[in-house]
Amino acid sequence: MEKAWWKEAVVYQVYPRSFLDTNGDGVGDLPGVIEKLDYIKELGADVLWLNPIYKSPNYDNGYDISDYKDIMDEFGTMADFDRLLSEAHKRGIKILMDLVVNHTSSEHAWFVESRKSTDNPYREYYIWKKGKPAGGVPNNWESYFSGPAWSYDKNTDMYYLHLFEEHQPDLNWENEQMRKEVYEMMRWWFDKGIDGFRMDTINMLSKTPGLPDGEPIAGTVYGNRIPHMINGPRIHEYLQEMNREVLSKYDVMTVGETPDITTEDGKLYTGADRHELHMVFQFEHMFVDFVDGEKFSVAPLDLVKLKQIMSRWQVELNGVGWNSLYWDNHDQPRVVSRFGNDREYWEESAKMLGTCLHMMQGTPYIYQGEEIGMTNAVFHSIDEFDDVEAKGAYREYTQNRGMSGEEMIRILNFRSREHARTPMQWDGSENAGFTTGTPWLKVNSNYPKINAKNQVKDESSIFSYYKNLISLRKKHPIIVYGDYTLLLPEDPHLFVYQRSYEGQTLLTLCSFAAEEVEFAFPKAFLDESSRLLISNYGDCPKAEKVTLRPYEARVYLLG
């Protein structure tokens, strides 16, 4: 397998709005990110992924961009960005920017022009359609933020498509001139010196031609999003063109956000010989606790299923493409609350989850606060939410799908993106040290206990444990490049796998159980020469049969 810096790297994701506020307006900013570069360096991450920082009216916290070459007012100026880039590079940290080109803001100059008239030169930059002959929206597509994916524009008596909120009109990738402008913009950022892009909802660029209705979904007026909204017929052509025109000219890293893809798709997007992307964020493991594919539902974790999914990605992409490894990001609830135990085994389970992920093949992503075990917050009513997705879903489910408000709040307390977005917990002072003003979103009340200051100097903390996981990766190529084999696929409590590389074998043992579980040690590892690399409990007896403690994790290296 070919070696690459982006395979060996660890990425730390920053959601700037919730990271650190330096001017007291309650919103995190770029100077705040600069202030904390040493913290990221201390952890050992090599790459910093910034969620969108471009000019935006913020209907979706920066995922609605009105100017790709300017900085959001609340975050600072281009001079702040330039300083961030150079300060990061001084510390050996690369900068990965978010690229949001499935849609723009409705305030982007292109859309302002586009909606003016049907013969405007920018008309075809977006997707416009007449309503159905009988009246109403052109098709039955549902926006990801609830409600129809179309909005009516009186001016030209037509509808425009938006797979997300109505202020996020979809770009028309069939338009070559528009694609050229996007490539030019990407080159502009690379020429500035950034080191890569995380590409937002990149598998939605190509839609089924003619935009046909989706298969009707019972109990709603909408159709299935698959296959028409994603992985359309021209997607690989666009990505190969982007690669040819832009990416291939720079030594940069790329990761595409690609919901609803299979491992077969994953190979097409990331295959080394296909010249598209380096890796993608697949979502199968994020859908594992949905009931019948429904996001706004709650089911307990089925570990056997989770193992099947993750192992399939490990095995299928091995030697073909490359995996990204993530539990958390700005769109997901906190993993320690979701797959771990944020009560009596908070610390143990946070460390175990880190171990389970970081010992796999792929590039690990750490989302701000994950490294200190930040948990889901508790929301009491819909008024406490800011997020466009949560509000849209609340409206849709309580008004049109017969769900009670109480039930929906219960579900959002498991599922909402807001759990990821509560401010970073820096210390035990007011507002967790995030701001001296009023935070834009409430701070999780557990900050006096869970905060970075408590953990950075403590060698037994979650932070120190993550630091250790990263430094092991730097020492042992097997963690980056080794082949993967799942052991005990049917075990409902233990996630056990081996890696192998150049004569060495690595054994990762993770218990997802809140009680003790018996484990029969693989014979080879009973040998004295197998070394314990890391564990989340002090003593680690080795015997033919061992009793693993709640959420115990161990990693052994042989050879």
Q: Which residues bind ligand GLC (CB under 6 A)?
A: 60, 63, 100, 164, 200-201, 257, 330-331
Closer Cβ to Ca ion, 21 or 342, answer by number: 21
As measured in angstroms, the least distance from the Cβ of 257 to ligand GLC is 6
Residue 77 engages Ca ion in binding (rule: CB under 5 A): no
Distance, in Å, from the CA atom of 246 to the CA atom of 241, rounded to the nearest integer, reads 8
Closer Cβ to Ca ion, 18 or 413, answer by number: 18
How does DSSP classify residue 432? Answer: G
How many CB atoms lie under 10 A from the CB of residue 319? 12
Strand ranges across the sheet with 553-558? 483-487, 494-501, 504-511, 553-558, 531-535
Q: Which residues are identified as catalytic? A: 200, 257
Residue identified by tokens 């990149």 is: 202
Q: Using CB under 5 A as the criterion, what x/- string covers residues 29-68 for binding Ca ion? A: x---------------------------------------
As measured in angstroms, the least distance from the Cβ of 196 to ligand GLC is 16
**3 state DSSP class of 233:** coil
Out of Ca ion, ligand GLC, none, what residue 29 binds, judged by CB under 5 to 8 A for its kind, is: Ca ion
10 Å CB burial of residue 225 (0-12, 13-18, 19+) is buried
What are the C-alpha distances in Å from 254 to residues 26, 133, 538? 32, 43, 39
Q: Using CB under 5 A as the criterion, what x/- string covers residues 4-23 for binding Ca ion? A: -----------------x-x
As measured in angstroms, the least distance from the Cβ of 88 to ligand GLC is 22
As measured in angstroms, the least distance from the Cβ of 377 to ligand GLC is 18
Out of ligand GLC, Ca ion, none, what residue 21 binds, judged by CB under 5 to 8 A for its kind, is: Ca ion
Distance, in Å, from the CA atom of 71 to the CA atom of 113, rounded to the nearest integer, reads 22
**Token couple for 79:** 């001079």
As measured in angstroms, the least distance from the Cβ of 105 to Ca ion is 21
- Contact call for residues 189 and 158 (beta carbons, < 8 A): no
Question: Residues 1, 4, 25, 274: which binds Ca ion (CB under 5 A)?
Answer: 25
As measured in angstroms, the least distance from the Cβ of 259 to ligand GLC is 7
Closer Cβ to Ca ion, 29 or 348, answer by number: 29
Out of Ca ion, ligand GLC, none, what residue 200 binds, judged by CB under 5 to 8 A for its kind, is: ligand GLC
- Contact call for residues 411 and 297 (beta carbons, < 8 A): yes
Distance, in Å, from the CA atom of 42 to the CA atom of 452, rounded to the nearest integer, reads 12
- The residue nearest ligand GLC at its CB is 63
Closer Cβ to Ca ion, 220 or 429, answer by number: 429
Closer Cβ to ligand GLC, 46 or 257, answer by number: 257
Residue 237 engages Ca ion in binding (rule: CB under 5 A): no
How many CB atoms lie under 10 A from the CB of residue 159? 22
As measured in angstroms, the least distance from the Cβ of 269 to ligand GLC is 16
Distance, in Å, from the CA atom of 413 to the CA atom of 520, rounded to the nearest integer, reads 38
As measured in angstroms, the least distance from the Cβ of 80 to ligand GLC is 22
- Contact call for residues 52 and 98 (beta carbons, < 8 A): yes
Distance, in Å, from the CA atom of 459 to the CA atom of 400, rounded to the nearest integer, reads 51
Out of ligand GLC, Ca ion, none, what residue 15 binds, judged by CB under 5 to 8 A for its kind, is: none
- Contact call for residues 74 and 33 (beta carbons, < 8 A): no
Query: What does 245-281 look like in DSSP terms, one character per residue?
Result: HTGGGS--EEEEE-SS--HHHHHHHH-TTT-S-SEEE
Q: Which residues pair with 323 in a beta bridge?
A: 280
Q: Which amino acid is at 250?
A: Y
Determine which helix (DSSP H) or strand (DSSP E) holds 545, and give its type and residue range: strand 545-548
Closer Cβ to ligand GLC, 170 or 347, answer by number: 170
Out of ligand GLC, Ca ion, none, what residue 331 binds, judged by CB under 5 to 8 A for its kind, is: ligand GLC
Out of ligand GLC, Ca ion, none, what residue 262 binds, judged by CB under 5 to 8 A for its kind, is: none
Residue 27 engages Ca ion in binding (rule: CB under 5 A): yes
Closer Cβ to ligand GLC, 108 or 307, answer by number: 108
Out of ligand GLC, Ca ion, none, what residue 443 binds, judged by CB under 5 to 8 A for its kind, is: none
Closer Cβ to ligand GLC, 146 or 468, answer by number: 146
Chain residues binding Ca ion by CB under 5 A are 21, 23, 25, 27, 29
